[in-house]
C-alpha cells in the first residue's frame, strides 16, 4: 500500500497526524537561542530547518536517541527539538514523508544506502540534494541546513501544526 497516496484521505492516518501535532504544540521545548552571527563552536552541530527557519544547536553525539530514524539523523534531531518533520512510517525507510533537501553540510552526512536511494526514487520533487530525513545521519560537527520540499509542506498544512513547516 502506498502511504503517500492514502495518507491525506485515510482517516486513521489523518487522525494520528492530528493528535501528534496537538501533542507537539503542547510540548514544544524552547531550545536556547542560537547566535547566528558566529559559526558553530568546535564540536557543536547546528541544524537549520527551512522553511520554518528554526535553528537548533547541540554538542555532537550528545542527543538522546528518540527512536525515530537512524540515531543522529535529521529526523532524530527534529524529534529531540520538537521540530515538525513528518515520518509516516516511523523512520524505517518505508515512505518518503521525511524527504528533505540538504542545502548546506552535505559533506558531513552519511552516504545514502541502496534502500534509501530506492525509496527516494518514489518521492515527489526529488532533486540532487534529496535525502530521507530518517536516513541521513550527521557524522561530524558543523553547520547544516535542510529544507522540507514544497509538496511536503502543502501536505502538512492540512493539519497546520502550530510550529510546523508552512504554518
Ligand atoms: Fe518514512 Fe523516513 S519516515 S522513510
Give pLDDT, residue 62. 93
Cα–Cα distance, 68 to 139 (Å, whole number): 17
Q: Please give the grid coordinates belonging to residue 11.
A: 482517516
35 has a pLDDT exceeding 70: yes
Domains observed in the chain? 1-29 (no CATH), 41-152 (3.10.20.30)
**Ligand 1 proximity of 6 Cβ (cutoff 6 Å):** no
Share of the chain above pLDDT 70, in %: 71
What would the mean pLDDT of 107-126 be, rounded to a whole number? 95
Instruction: State the closest ligand 1 atom to the C-alpha of 93, by its place in the atom list counted from 1.
Output: 4
Q: Is the CB of 99 under 6 A from ligand 1?
A: no
Q: Please report, for residues 69, 114, 150, the alpha-carbon distance to residue 92 in angstroms, rounded to integers and kept in the order given.
A: 6, 14, 22
Q: Minimal CA–CA distance to 133: which of 51, 72, 82, 81?
A: 72
Q: What is the DSSP secondary-structure string of 59-81?
A: ETT-SPP-SSSSTTBHHHHHHHT
* Pocket of ligand 1 contains residue 109 by CB under 6 Å: no
pLDDT band at 130 (very low <50, low <70, confident <90, very high): very high
Judge if the beta carbon of residue 91 lies within 6 A of ligand 1.
yes
Specify the DSSP class assigned to residue 128: T
Dmax over CA atoms of the chain, in Å, equals 47
pLDDT of residue 149: 85
Burial class (CB in 10 A: 0-12, 13-18, 19+), 40: buried
* Residue 153 CA, ligand 1 centroid: distance in Å: 15
Q: Tell me what pLDDT residue 10 has.
A: 63
Q: How does residue 132 score in pLDDT terms, banded at 50, 70 and 90?
A: very high
Q: Could you report the per-residue pLDDT of 57-90, keeping only the tens digit for each?
A: 999 999 998 788 999 999 999 999 999 999 999 9
Per-residue pLDDT at 167 exceeds 70: no
Instruction: Please work out whether the CB of residue 89 comes within 6 Å of at least one atom of ligand 1.
Output: yes
Res 19: pLDDT? 59
Task: Please give the pLDDT value at position 135.
Answer: 98
Pocket probe for ligand 1: among 96, 100, 121, the residue whose CB has the most ligand atoms within 8 Å is 96
Dist. CA 163 → ligand 1 center (Å):
20
Q: What is the dihedral of CA 6, 133, 120, 130, to 10 degrees?
A: 130
pTM for this one? 0.76
Mean confidence (pLDDT) of the chain: 82
- 76 within 8 A of 69, measured Cβ to Cβ: yes
Q: Which residue has the higher pLDDT, 11 or 53?
A: 53
Amino acid at each position: 500500500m502506498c502511504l503517500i497516496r492514502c495518507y491525506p484521505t485515510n482517516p486513521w492516518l489523518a487522525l494520528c497526524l492530528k493528535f501528534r501535532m496537538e501533542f507537539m504544540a503542547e510540548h514544544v521545548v524552547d531550545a536556547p537561542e542560537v547566535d547566528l552571527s558566529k559559526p558553530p563552536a568546535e564540536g557543536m552541530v547546528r541544524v537549520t530547518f527551512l522553511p520554518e527557519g528554526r535553528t537548533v544547536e547541540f554538542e555532537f553525539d550528545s542527543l538522546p536517541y528518540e527512536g525515530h530514524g537512524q540515531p543522529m539523523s535529521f529526523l532524530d534531531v527534529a524529534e529531540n527539538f520538537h521540530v515538525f518533520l513528518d515520518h509516516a512510517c516511523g523512520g524505517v525507510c518505508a515512505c518518503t514523508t521525511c524527504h528533505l533537501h540538504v542545502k548546506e553540510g552535505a559533506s558531513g552526512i552519511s552516504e545514502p544506502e541502496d534502500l534509501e536511494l530506492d525509496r527516494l526514487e518514489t518521492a515527489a520533487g526529488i532533486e540532487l540534494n534529496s535525502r530521507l530525513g530518517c536516513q541521513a545521519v550527521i557524522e561530524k560537527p558543523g553547520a547544516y541546513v535542510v529544507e522540507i520540499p514544497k509538496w511536503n509542506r502543502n501536505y502538512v498544512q492540512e493539519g497546520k501544526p502550530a510550529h510546523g513547516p508552512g504554518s
